[in-house]
Structure 1
Amino acid sequence: MGYKIVVVGATGNVGREMLNILAERQFPVDEIAALASRRSLGTEVSFGDTTLVTKDLNEFDFAGWDIALFAIGSDGTKEHGPRAAKAGCVVIDNSSLYRYDPDVPLIVPEVNADAITGYSKKNIIANPNCSTAQMVVALKPLHDRARIKRVVVSTYQSVSGAGKAGMDELWNQTKGIYVPGQERAADKFTKQIAFNVIPHIDAFMEDGSTKEEWKMVAETKKIIDPAIKVTATCVRVPVFVGHSEAINIEFEDFLDEDEARDILREAPGVMVIDKREDGGYVTPVEAAGDFATFISRIRQDSTIENGLNLWCVSDNLRKGAALNAVQIAETLGARVLKKG
Structure 2
Amino acid sequence: MDHNLTPASPFDSARALELAQQALAVEAQALQQCAQRLQQPDTGAHFARALSTILAARGRVVVMGMGKSGHVGRKIAATLASTGTPALFVHPAEASHGDLGMVRDVDVVLAISNSGESEELARILPVLKRLGVPLVAMTGKPQSSLARHADIVLDSGVEKEACPLNLAPTASTTVQMALGDALAVALLDARGFRAEDFARSHPGGALGRRLLTTVADVMRAGDAAPSVPLDADFSQVMREMSAKGLGATLVVDADARVVGIFTDGDLRRLLESGTDLRQLSADKLMHANPRSIRPDALAADAAHLMEQYRINSLPVTDADGRLVGALNTHDLMLAKVI
Q: TM-score, normalised by structure 2?
A: 0.29
Which of the pair is proportionally richer in strand?
Answer: 1
Q: Which has the larger radius of gyration?
A: 2
Whose helix fraction is larger, Structure 1's or Structure 2's?
2
Larger RCO (alpha carbons 8 Å, 6+ apart): 1
TM-score (norm 1): 0.29
